[in-house]
Structures are given as structure tokens and as C-alpha cells.
Amino acid sequence: MIKIKLTQTLLIKHFTVEYNGKTYYVEYANSDGYAAYLSNRYDWEILDEELEELCLCEFQDDTKEEKQQIKKNKKLANKLITFCIRHFNDYKPKIKNRNIY
């Protein structure tokens, strides 16, 4: 008899969100074990229409304008993430139990 054991679960959800006439691609990823996929990133990642990551990190050498843009990006990220959390379980796929044999 074959024994099957679940050793880890990696959850990834992708959201496409339109906000103020722009499209954003929001991804949530988390794991209950080590996942190389999640190294050096947060659980949430946001890309803009040009597939550029939304800059949320502020550095000491940033200009005043860059710091203002990062502040706006953080507010936008919070809005997008809050929206995605509210709609996290909206997708309800029909999962069929498929026997291969």
C-alpha cells in the first residue's frame, strides 16, 4: 500500500485589479515550510501595468520627490491589498475528485 504524506503547502493567489483607470497585478504567496519562491520577498507583491514592481522601499539617498512617490505607493498598496483580502475567497472553483486508475 502506498503511503501519501503532505509535507508542505504553498498557497499562491493572483488578482488583477483595476483602480483609477490603471491595472495592477497583485499576488499573495505563503507557505507553511521553506519555499525558495518566497525568498527575499514579502507575502504580497504588486506589479503595475508595465509589470514593474510597485516601489515601497525608501532609501536614505532618495530625493524628496522619490520619497513622496513611495509614500503614495504605500497608500496604494494598502488599498489594493485590503481589497484583495476582502475578495480572497470569491473564486469558488468546482473541484472534482478524479481517480486516475
pLDDT digits (tens, 9 = 90+) for 48-96: 999 999 999 999 999 999 999 999 999 999 999 999 999 999 988 888 8
pLDDT tens per residue, range 7-63? 899 889 999 999 999 999 999 998 888 878 777 677 899 999 999 999 999 999 999
Who's near 11: CB < 8 A, 6+ residues apart? 28, 29, 30, 31
Residues 6+ apart with CB under 8 A from 1: none
pTM for this one?
0.81
